Structure 1
Amino acid sequence: MQRAAIALMLLTGASAVAAEPDPALEAARAKISEMFEMIEPEDVGRSPIDGWYTIQKGSVVAYVSADARFLLQGDLIDLDSQVNLTEMSRNDARRDLMATLTDADSIVFSPAEARHEVTIFTDIDCTYCRRMHSQIDQYLEQGIAVRYLLYPRSGPNSRSWSTSEDVWCANNRNDALTAAKLDREFATQQCDASMISKHYSLGREVGLSGTPAIVLEDGTLIGGYLPPAQLGARLNQAVAHP
C-alpha cells in the first residue's frame, strides 16, 4: 500500500509539472511525432526523471531524452520504494482500455454472485486457452466473472479468425465458444463480425505476447494459464491488500 502511494505521488507530481509551459517538451513532442507516424504529440509527457520524457501509446511505454536524441525502452523502477513505475503506467492504460468495453462487446460467463471480474484474451485453438475454458465452471465457483475477448493469434485471413467470426455471429455465443474449443460444430449465421478486429487491436494495444492473457480489474496483465484456485486466491488477496 505504501509503495503504491509513493508511486502515485511521483506520477501525480510528474503530471502536475507537465501542465507548466515547457519549450523542451514541446520540441521533443514535435520531433518524436514527426519521426514516428503512430505517435501523437500528446503521447509524449513528463517522466519522473529530470531530462527525460515518457512516450506512451496504450500500454506501450518508452522514454526519450529531452533533446529527443536517445530512446530507451525498458522498465523504470524506483529503487527506494521498489515500485515499477513503468508497469504502473501500463496497468493504468490497460484498465482504461478495458473500460471502453461493455458486456455486449465480449462473451461473458458469469456466476450467480460475482465477486471479481477478469478479461481474458483467448484463441480458439491454443492449448492452454482450451484447458482454461474446460474449467470455466470452476472459475465461476470462485466467484469470478470471465469476460472473453477473441484474439486469433494467427491474425486475419486465418482459420482461427474465421472460426472466431462464426462464434461471434452465433445466436448463443457462449455455447458456440465452448463448441469451437472442443472442435465441435455449431450453428452460426452471417453478421457484422468487425468486433473480432476490435478485440485483436485491443490485444495489440494491451501488449499481448501470447494467449491466454488475463487482465485484472486494476489493469494487471497475467500472461498464460492460471488455475481457478490460484486466480481466485490472487483476486481475493488484491481485494484484501489493495
Structure 2
Amino acid sequence: MKQLVLAASIFGLLACSPQGNAQLNDRELDTQYLENMGFTIESVKPSSVTGLYEVITNQGLIYVADDGKKLIGGRIYDITGSEPVNLSEEVVKEMRRTDVKTVADEAIVYQAEDEAYVVTVFTDPTCGYCRQLHTNIDSYLNKGISIHYLAWPRSGLQGSGYEQLKTIWCSADKGAALTAAKSDKRLPAASCDDPIAKHFALGNKFGVRGTPSMVLPSGEMIPGLVNADRLLEALEQAQ
C-alpha cells in the first residue's frame, strides 16, 4: 500500500517541461512517453534488474521497461541477505547528496563552531514545528550540527508562507529575517530574483511532504522534527 501511495504522489506533482531523449550506453531510450506525462528526464541508466531502467526525473526516481513504454512504481529490494536492502533508496540518497550541493550557496546557514555535520532543513516560517526547531537551534549547534535552511512553502507557491519566504531570502540579513518571521515579527519589504520556486521543486523531487524535513549528509531524509540528541544519533549511525 505504501508503494501505491508513493506512485500516486509522483503523478500528482507532474510539471510540464519536456526534454529530448536521454542517452543510454550508446543507444537511445525512448523517453517520449514520460515526457508526454510531464516528466523532465535528468538521467537514465540500467537498474540492477535486467530490462528495467532507472530514471531520475524532476519528481525523483522512477523505473521504466519495454523501451520506455512501461512505467513501474515502487522500490527494488535485494532480498538475498539476512535483511532486505532497499536498493532504490541508495539511488535516491545519492541523488539528494548531489542535488543539495547545487543549492548550497542559497541556503541560510547556522554554522556550528565545532562543525561535525551539516544537515539541510526544508523550512516554512508558518510551521509550528519549524519554529520549535529554530527556537532550539543552539542545541543542534552545540552538538556540532550545522543547519542549512532551504525554503519549502507548505501551501505551494502561494499564500503567506510563500510570500514570507520570498521576503526572507531577499533580505540583506536572511538569518535575522528568518528568525523574525518565525517570531511573528513584521518583515520589511524586500524583493529579488529569489530561489523559492527552485527550492520547492527540489523538495518535491526529494520526497518532501511537510516541514521540517531534514536531509542528512548521507542523503537520508528524516521527515518531521527531531531533537538534537536523536539527530546526532541518526547522523552517527548513517556514517
TM-score using structure 2 length: 0.81
* Distance of 1:92 and 1:218 partners within structure 2: 8
Distance 1:34 1:215 in 2: 28
1:177 is aligned to 178
CA distance change for structure 1 residues 101 and 150 in 2, over 3 Å: closer, same or farther?
same
RMSD, matched Cα: 2.1
How many correspondences in the alignment?
214
In structure 2, do the counterparts of structure 1 residues 169 and 51 end up closer, same or farther at CA, with 3 Å as the change threshold? closer
| Contact 1:122 1:152 (8 Å CA) reproduced | yes
Aligned partner letter, 1:72: I
Q: How does 1:4-153 map to 2 (within 5 A)?
A: 19=25, 21=26, 26=28, 28-33=29-34, 35-40=36-41, 43-58=43-58, 60-81=60-81, 82-103=84-105, 105-153=106-154
1:204-219 correspondence runs (5 A): 204-219=204-219
Q: Unaligned stretches of 5+ in structure 1?
A: 1-17
For 2:150 and 2:90, locate their aligned partners in 1 and report how far apart those are by CA, in whole Å. Answer: 23
In the TM superposition, what is the alpha-carbon distance from 1:115 to its structure 2 partner? 0.7
Unaligned runs of 5+ in 2: 1-23
Distance 1:66 1:31, change over 3 A: same
Would you tell me which structure has more helix in proportion to its own residues?
1
Q: Identity over aligned residues, as a percent?
A: 34
Query: Does the 8 A contact of 2:43 with 2:55 survive in 1?
Result: yes
Question: Aligned equivalents of 2:57 and 2:189: distance in 1?
Answer: 36
Asked whether the equivalents of residues 30 and 67 of structure 2 are also in contact (C-alpha less than 8 Å), the reply is: no
The 5 Å alignment of 1:150-229 reads 150-186=151-187, 188-229=188-229
Q: Measure, in 2, the Cα distance between the counterparts of 1:195 and 1:177.
A: 15
TM-score, normalising length: structure 1: 0.80
More strand, by proportion: 2
Higher RCO structure (Cα 8 Å, ≥6 apart): 1
Q: What do residues 27-81 of structure 1 show as CA deviations (whole Å, max 9, x unaligned)? A: x4245455444344x6332111112222221562222222544321111000114
**Matches of 1:31 and 1:52 in 2, distance apart?**
17
Residues 34 and 68 of structure 2 are in contact (CA less than 8 Å); yes or no, is this contact kept in structure 1? Answer: no
Query: SS at 2:129's partner residue?
Result: helix
The 3 A distance-change label for structure 1 pair 31 and 199 is closer
30 and 179 in structure 1: CA distance in 2 versus 1, 3 angstrom threshold: closer
Displacement after TM superposition at 1:85 (Å): 0.9
**What SS class does the counterpart of residue 186 from structure 2 fall into?**
coil
Contact 2:143/2:232, CA 8 A, preserved across alignment: yes
- Offset at 1:139? 0.7
**One-letter amino acid of the counterpart of residue 87, structure 2:** L
AA in 1 matched with 2:107: S
- Give secondary structure in 1 for the equivalent of 2:30: helix
Q: Which has the larger radius of gyration?
A: 1
Task: Note if contact 1:168-1:193 (Cα within 8 Å) is conserved in structure 2.
Answer: no
Q: In structure 1, what is the equivalent of residue 8 of structure 2?
A: none
Greater Cα offset, 57-66 or 134-143? 57-66
Residue of structure 2 equivalent to 1:235:
235
Q: Is the 8 A contact 2:39 2:59 kept in 1?
A: no
Distance of aligned partners of 1:79 and 1:156 in 2 relative to their CA distance in 1, 3 Å threshold: same
Worse-superposed segment, 198-207 or 210-219: 198-207
